[in-house]
Amino acid sequence: MTSEGVMFVTLLLALMISATTSSPTSKDVKDVYSHIFNGYDKWVRPVWNQSHVVTVTLSFKLNSINEFDEKSQKLVLAGWFDASWSDESQTWNVSDFGDVSHVSVDGSSIWLPQIALINPFGRVNILSQLASSAVISANGEVGWFPGDSFVVTCEVDITYYPFDTQHCSLVFEIWDASMSEVILQTSSKAIDVNLFEENGEWTLTSFEVDNPEFDDAFFRRPKFFMLTINIAPVVLLAFLNVCVFLIPLSSGEKNSFCVTVYLSYAVFLGTISYELPHNSKDASYLTIYLLALLVFSVTIFLVTVIQVRLFIEYGDTPVPASVAKMFGCCTRGNCSKVKRFDINDPDDVKKDSVKALEDPELKQTNENSVCIKDILTRLDVHLFCLFLVILCVMTSVMGGLAFSYSL
């Protein structure tokens, strides 16, 4: 046989094979629907022997974290479920129906397991009440895919706020059947995050399954809170508060400066307390840190008030040399005390009393003594260093706790 003959025979065989293997038609699909729904009752469990258990395998495909409100302890997740089971009444022979291997049906037209979300933020959610579709295979395997935004309660732990990690769960149970009728189990890949969209405030760190619970862990992205709302402004205010000891006592601005910083702390504490849940079991370390800074600010204010009062009332009063040495003051002050004359005192009023007042010998001067205002000026330096060290220790402890938790 020539090469042309071989090619002709090959082409003829190909045409014959393609003619015998046609694709399914719409009539074939309609015949499948007629076959599987002939005498079908969606209220009957999909097993011939009703004493047998229907096993439903469930997995969750997480799409996004839509909202997490710590104050109301509400979590909103978007995603859909992939539930599968075997329906013994919905099978067919593929070769009898034009090689139709599967069909899609509306979820409301077939038996569905009454799976309920039992930790909702509000009313109980039953998945079968959601608009959904299902796919039925020729061997009776049914795949059901209900999807929605699921609102659940999540107990918030604010101990390490804003470096906190929250653990939330979606808990499901069979609503209308006992364990002897329907068993709910999770698949090997119970939580699928391949299509998960990152959240601007929270990041998904882990996910676990404790049948029938889907447990997720979310870690807050703290950069925004550190730079704008909580950490950075508070730390800057704290260091600014210590700088009150660098303001000269003679300026008269020390007290007003302290009050301004204290009020700023109060504003920040009010802002943070508004954001945090009021029914949390534990207090936030950040709140404790702010309260410590409030006490810190009040202490500085009280010390400053005492300083200003001593400066105004007793600033020119000399102090003993031992006290001056204690504060490291040299005898270079200028404390002068002028003797005052009483015109009602006959010993002071004399013929030459006017000249006596003009006599420099009558002035009691001590050009080399150290007075209280010198001590207070020197004390400002010591107080600045002391409170700066205290602040650094407090901030380091707070930072260490946050850093150790974020590891």
Residue extent(s) of CATH 2.70.170.10 domains in the chain: 25-221
Which residues lie closer than 8 Å to 94 by C-beta, 6 or more apart?
A: 100, 101, 138
pTM: 0.67
Contact 54, 88 (CB under 8 A): no
Q: Rounded to an integer, what distance in angstroms lies between the CA atom of residue 67 and that of residue 151? A: 9
Question: Is the pLDDT assigned to residue 198 strictly greater than 70?
Answer: yes
Among 326, 313, 340, CA closest to 370: 326
Beta bridge partner(s), residue 220: 202
Which residues lie closer than 8 Å to 380 by C-beta, 6 or more apart?
A: 245, 246, 249, 307
User: Out of 81-95, 134-148, 171-185, 341-355, which region has the weakest mean confidence (pLDDT)?
Assistant: 341-355
Tens digits of residue pLDDT in 133-146: 899 999 989 999 88
**Total length of the chain:** 407
Q: Rounded to an integer, what distance in angstroms lies between the CA atom of residue 131 and that of residue 120? A: 19
Per-residue pLDDT, 178: 66
Q: Rounded to an integer, what distance in angstroms lies between the CA atom of residue 82 and that of residue 174? A: 15
* Residue 116: half-sphere exposure toward Cβ, Cα within 13 Å: 12
Q: Which two tokens stand for residue 309?
A: 């009062």
Tens digits of residue pLDDT in 267-283: 877 777 776 666 557 77
**Residue written as token pair 């959240």:** 199
At position 299, the amino acid (one-letter code) is T
Sign of the torsion angle spanned by Cα atoms 353, 355, 357, 362: negative
Among 280, 275, 194, 296, CA closest to 230: 275
Q: Which two tokens stand for residue 331?
A: 């005898």
Question: Is the pLDDT assigned to residue 19 strictly greater than 50?
Answer: no
Report the run of H or E that residue 286 belongs to, with start and end. Answer: helix 285-314
Q: Rounded to an integer, what distance in angstroms lies between the CA atom of residue 190 and that of residue 69? A: 26
pLDDT band at 11 (very low <50, low <70, confident <90, very high): low
Task: Print burial letters for 230-243: b (CB count within 10 Å at least 16), e (below 16).
Answer: bbebbbebbeebbe
Burial class (CB in 10 A: 0-12, 13-18, 19+), 76: middle
Question: Is the pLDDT assigned to residue 202 strictly greater than 90?
Answer: no
Contact 131, 107 (CB under 8 A): yes
> 9-23, 105-119, 369-383 — which one is most confidently predicted on average?
105-119
Q: Rounded to an integer, what distance in angstroms lies between the CA atom of residue 189 and that of residue 328? A: 73
Report whether CATH 1.10.357 matches the domain 226-317+371-406.
no
Other beta carbons within 10 angstroms of residue 317's beta carbon come to 14
Distance from CA of residue 294 to its chain's centroid? 24
Q: Rounded to an integer, what distance in angstroms lies between the CA atom of residue 335 and that of residue 316? A: 5
At position 285, the amino acid (one-letter code) is Y
Mean pLDDT of the 3-21 span: 50
Mean pLDDT of the 251-275 span: 81
Residue extent(s) of CATH 1.20.58 domains in the chain: 226-317+371-406
92 by DSSP, 3-state: which? coil
**CATH fold of 25-221:** Acetylcholine Binding Protein; Chain: A, (2.70.170)
**Residue written as token pair 């509400």:** 74
Q: Rounded to an integer, what distance in angstroms lies between the CA atom of residue 52 and that of residue 318? A: 101
Per-residue pLDDT, 327: 64
At position 294, the amino acid (one-letter code) is L
Tens digits of residue pLDDT in 113-129: 888 888 888 877 788 78
Tens digits of residue pLDDT in 334-362: 554 444 444 555 555 554 444 444 444 44
Q: Backbone phi, then psi, for 252, in 5-degree steps?
A: 75, 15
pLDDT band at 253 (very low <50, low <70, confident <90, very high): confident
